[in-house]
Chains A and B, each alone.
Chain A
Amino acid sequence: MGKKKTPGINSSSTADIAFLLLCYFLMTTTMGDQAGLHRRLPPIPDKEQKAQDQKVNRRNIIIVRINSADRLFAGNEALDVSLLKDKIKEFIANPTDDPNLPEKEMKEIEGLGMYPVSKGVISLQNDRGTSYQAYISVQNELVKAVNELRDEFSMQRYGKKFDFLDEDKQDIVKKAIPQNISEAEPKDVGGKKK
């Protein structure tokens, strides 16, 4: 427009300004660690409920115990964390209808029909001296066992992995293979170091 030539604004300092901003954000923010293992705590039981709890059949429950030295005890044997997943999978799936493993109950699931749902419950117990890392890795194995079973089920029924199913189907799979992990009342098992 003008006939006089206006000098261009020197833009070399915008990089510095942007660097300052960048440094500011680097200092004041943290990387997202918004992921974790989701769990639902049981509500505080009433006195009546306690009597009911004890009626759970012995074969339907597997007790996973971690002692203060981070040693793992599942069912009736000591075993390594890496073997826990397979044991839990066998426990929940019970492919051979072993009378020592949990029974199944025919349940009507919307959109699927009758399906034998395992009544197995995993009871996780820990000592006050158990380290958190050990506790989480055991929790992780339990979740992994359930997730793998769900994946297998989804592959069989729908030909897709669980994560790729739509929400309705995920709900069906979740009902067919429930994640029954109970975090027991903390017990003082400090002296118990069998």
Chain B
Amino acid sequence: MSKFGGSNNKKDVPGISSGSLSDIVFMLLFFFMVTTQLRETENKVIVKLPQATEVAKLERKDLSPYINIGTPIRSLQGMYGTDARIQLNDSFKTIDDIRDFIAAERDAMSEADRSYMTVGLRVDQDVRMGIVSDVKQELRRCSALKIMYSARKPAE
């Protein structure tokens, strides 16, 4: 391995072995693979989560559909304006679509898991509560009663 220095080296300085470099990068890779999760949908709204100190972790990540509420991203503002909108899966939806969304999510779960479904509300911190209240009322009507207000822990 120390031979790749070339033949024009006059002094016999051994080259730095780069064999372990890949190991280091692999370690970085594993770190990121463990701490992150795949982004399943593309964000179409800007969501800056509000801060809260008393957050609790979600036990079952796979059992939580997400409802995103926020201002459309910059490139879509020309089309949709800057008012807060609801994003379900990959597109903008209205309050009335939540019912179908929840029903579809329920169907995708196994019978036993349905009662554990927790709807995550990922809402931008500058959104007014009116739209959030509407969503909550609609969720109550669909009897999806377990919800979670997503929040981030403030940096200490």
Contacts and interface: CB of A to CB of B under 8 A. Distances in A.
A binds B: yes
A15 B35 contact: no
Contacts of B26: 18
Interface residues of B, number: 59
B35 A32 contact: yes
B112 to A, nearest CB: 20
Contacts of A39: 147-149
A21 B31 CA distance: 12
B147 A41 contact: yes
Contacts of B152: 33, 35
Interface residues of A, number: 48
Contacts of A21: 29
Given A22-B29, A35-B58, A140 B52 contact: yes
Contact of B127 (A32, A41, A44, A131): A131
Most buried by A among B21, B50, B53, B136: B50
A28 B58 contact: no
Contact of B129 (A15, A29, A38, A126): A126
B145 interface: yes
Interface centre among A37, A44, A137, A139 (most CB of B within 10 A): A37
Interface string B4-33: 100000000000001101100110110011
A1 interface: no
A172 to B, nearest CB: 19
A12 B1 CA distance: 9
Interface in A137-188: 137, 139-140, 143-144, 147, 183, 186
Interface in A119-141: 126-133, 135-137, 139-140
Contact of B149 (A8, A15, A37): A37
Given A37-B55, A132-B124, A137-B51, A43 B1 contact: no
Contacts of B55: 35-37
A52 interface: no
A137 B52 contact: yes
Interface stretch (B36-44, B72-80, B85-93, B96-104): B36-44
Given A22-B28, A35-B58, A41 B153 contact: no
B18 A15 contact: yes
B22 A139 contact: no
Given A35-B152, A36-B52, A38-B146, 10 more contacts: A18-B25, A29-B37, A30-B36, A33-B122, A34-B120, A128-B133, A132-B123, A133-B50, A136-B149, A147-B54
20 contacts: A11-B18, A11-B22, A15-B25, A18-B22, A18-B29, A22-B28, A29-B33, A29-B39, A33-B152, A34-B150, A36-B148, A36-B149, A37-B148, A40-B146, A41-B145, A131-B128, A133-B126, A136-B149, A137-B52, A186-B133
